[in-house]
Homo-oligomer: A and B are copies of this chain.
Amino acid sequence: MENKFVSYKCQLRVRYADTDAMGIVYYSKYLEYFEVARTEFLRACGLPYAALEELGFFLPVMEASAKYFRGAKYDEMLTIEVQMPAEPSARLSIDYKVLNEIGEMLVEGKTTLAFVDRKTNKPTRPPIQYREALRRFTTTQNEQE
């Protein structure tokens, strides 16, 4: 039986530049972390975002949201869990969880991205390469389980 979701984890370290005068990571920074996580996820699928741009696509964000439970501190190593539907659709809905080193949930988030044609600047269907990459990644994940 197939997975209904594909998931991926990556890590990143909080930079001093990311913190604010409250001593914790500034709230907009997590959207940047989400971007890092989905970029690494696409790379892990064998389809780096830079390749998508070369194929003639942009992936602008349509919606983004975040719930903040605890603040991340300078130099903490964060784990970002990414999850998305295994079945490709016109829009990319991605869920994120940001955890600290002892597994506490810091932030939960969601972004919705659309495939846009770089020439026409209009929404478009995802390229076949994306569908195939997602299928390959799903298969690999299933085999590992």
Contacts and interface: CB of A to CB of B under 8 A. Distances in A.
Copies of this chain assembled into the complex = 4
Listed residue (A24, A27, A49, A61) with the most chain B CB atoms within 10 angstroms of its CB: A27
Contact of A21 (B21, B27, B35): B21
A26 B16 contact: yes
A15 interface: yes
Interface string A15-47: 111011111101111011001100100000000
Main secondary structure, interface of A, reads: mixed
Interface string A35-79: 110010000000011100100001011111111100101110000
Contacts of A53: 74
Contacts of A66: 63-65
